[in-house]
Amino acid sequence: MNQATSVFSSVDISSLKFFVGVDIGSQTCSVCVLRADQSQVIKPTDFANAVSGFRFLLSKLEQLEVSPCHILIGLEATSRYGENLYHFLERHGYQLCLLHPRQTHDFAQRRGLRAKTDKLDATTIARVLLSGDARAGYVPTDVIAASARVRALAYATVR
Q: Please give the average per-residue pLDDT across 112-118, as a whole number.
A: 59
Residue 115 has pLDDT above 70, yes or no: no
Q: Between 62 and 122, whose confidence is greater?
A: 62
Q: Please give the average per-residue pLDDT across 98-105, as a whole number.
A: 74
Among 59-63, 87-91, 110-114, 118-122, the minimum mean pLDDT is found in 110-114
The count of structural domains within the chain is 1
> Residue 36's domain spans which residues?
3-158
pLDDT in tens, 28-83: 999 999 999 989 999 999 999 999 999 999 999 999 999 999 999 999 877 788 89
Are the C-beta atoms of residues 95 and 67 closer than 8 Å to each other?
A: no
Helix, strand, coil in percent for the chain, rounding step 5: 45, 20, 30
Side chain identity, residue 121: D
What CATH number corresponds to the domain at position 10? 3.30.420.140
Give bridge partners of residue 30 from the DSSP assignment: 23, 46
Share above pLDDT 90 across residues of the chain, in percent, rounded to a whole number: 42
149 by Cβ neighbours in 10 Å (0-12 / 13-18 / 19+) ranks as exposed
Q: Between 135 and 125, whose confidence is greater?
A: 125
* pTM exceeds 0.85, yes or no: no
- Collapsing DSSP to helix, strand or coil, 113 comes out as coil
